[in-house]
Every structure is written in structure tokens, then in C-alpha cells.
Amino acid sequence: MIGCVCGWCAQLCSASTCGCLWAGVGLRAALLPLAGRVRLLHLAALTSLMLHVLLLVVHVTRLVDLLPVDWNKMGGCAGGWSALTLASGGLLTLHAVLFAPGYRLAPHQLTQLLLAAAGVGVGGACFGAWLAALAVRAARAGCMAAERGSVAASGAASRRSSAYRAVPSAQPSTERDHPL
């Protein structure tokens, strides 16, 4: 449940950042002073949005049950990527808009949209860092539970029961059952 909520919040932050940037500069990002900073924030927001949408689709379609992937680690990497890229792009854009002389003569609406995009990006970075920390905590808790379980039970039996199986176990035969 928490993965679903985290996915929606990460998507909301990334989509809001993309929307503010697109409304502010659109395709004219190269014409802005210090355009690389705004482009970095836009790249960070778009990749973060696509990554979290992919993770949410995999979660909703229940592919997490079929694929032998450590989803806590995957969510931690996604949160770390979002935190790193959104923080760097947001802080660089915030610095450019507030302190660069090229933005002093820019229209007020443009600076406000860029400031909003940078603020939402930095907020999304804080959320991404929290998501990464949550995933690391869940991964550590899973490792600790696995260690406790293997110490308590016999080693081979506990490894056999927790192994990934591509083919489900055989069901008891129903040939001898009465049809009615």
C-alpha cells in the first residue's frame, strides 16, 4: 500500500515540475540564460516521472509477484535517482533565477513559473530521499528477518521454501472425487 502512495506522490511532484517548466519555457529553453540548468531540471522531472509511472504500473498489474526482482532495492534506486537529479536541477535553477543577472530583466510570469518548478523539484527531491530511505529500511528489515528465519529453521528447508519457483507446486488429483 505504501508503495502505491509513494508512487502517486512522486508522480505528482514530477508532473507538476514538468508542467511548470513547460508552461514557462516550452521549446524555448535554449534561449534562456543558463539554459543548461533549466534543461537539467526538465530532464530530471521527466525521467523521474517515467520511472515512477513504470514502477506504479508494475505494482498495479501485480507483476511484482511474477518477476524475481528485489523491488525494495528497485524502489530505493528510483527514489535515490529522483532525489539526486531533482535536487541538483532544482537548486541550480533556483540559483540561476534568483542570482543570475540575465533573469533580472525576464518577465515576472516566467521567473515565477521557474521558481515554482524549482521549489516543487526540491520538494520532490526531499520526497525522493525519504522514499529511498524507506526502501533501504525495508530491505534491511527483510534481510534481518531472513537471517532470523534461517537460524531458527534448518538451513536447507528454509532456503527451499523461500526460493523462487517458476512452476507452481502440484495440486492434489481430483480424479477420484465424485463429480456432483
| Proportion of the chain above pLDDT 70, given as a percent | 74
**Mapped to the 3 state alphabet, what secondary structure does 30-80 carry?**
HHCCCHHHHHHHHHHHHHHHHHHHHHHHHHHCCHHHCCCCCHHHHHHHHHH
The C-alpha atoms of residue 43 and residue 48 are separated, in whole angstroms, by 8
* DSSP label at residue 103: G
The C-alpha atoms of residue 114 and residue 151 are separated, in whole angstroms, by 55
The C-alpha atoms of residue 158 and residue 151 are separated, in whole angstroms, by 9
* Domain-wise residue ranges, the chain: 2-153
Q: What pLDDT sits at residue 41?
A: 87
Residue given cell 480424479 in the structure block: 175
pLDDT band at 3 (very low <50, low <70, confident <90, very high): low
Q: What pLDDT sits at residue 88?
A: 92
Contacts of 16 (CB under 8 A, 6+ apart): 117, 120
**Angle at the Cα of 59 from the Cα atoms of 56 and 61, rounded to 5 degrees:** 105
Burial class (CB in 10 A: 0-12, 13-18, 19+), 76: buried
Per-residue model confidence as pLDDT tens digits over 67-115: 888 887 887 788 888 889 889 999 999 999 999 888 888 888 888 888 9
Instruction: Decide: helix, strand or coil at residue 172.
Output: coil
Average pLDDT, the chain: 77
pTM, full prediction: 0.69
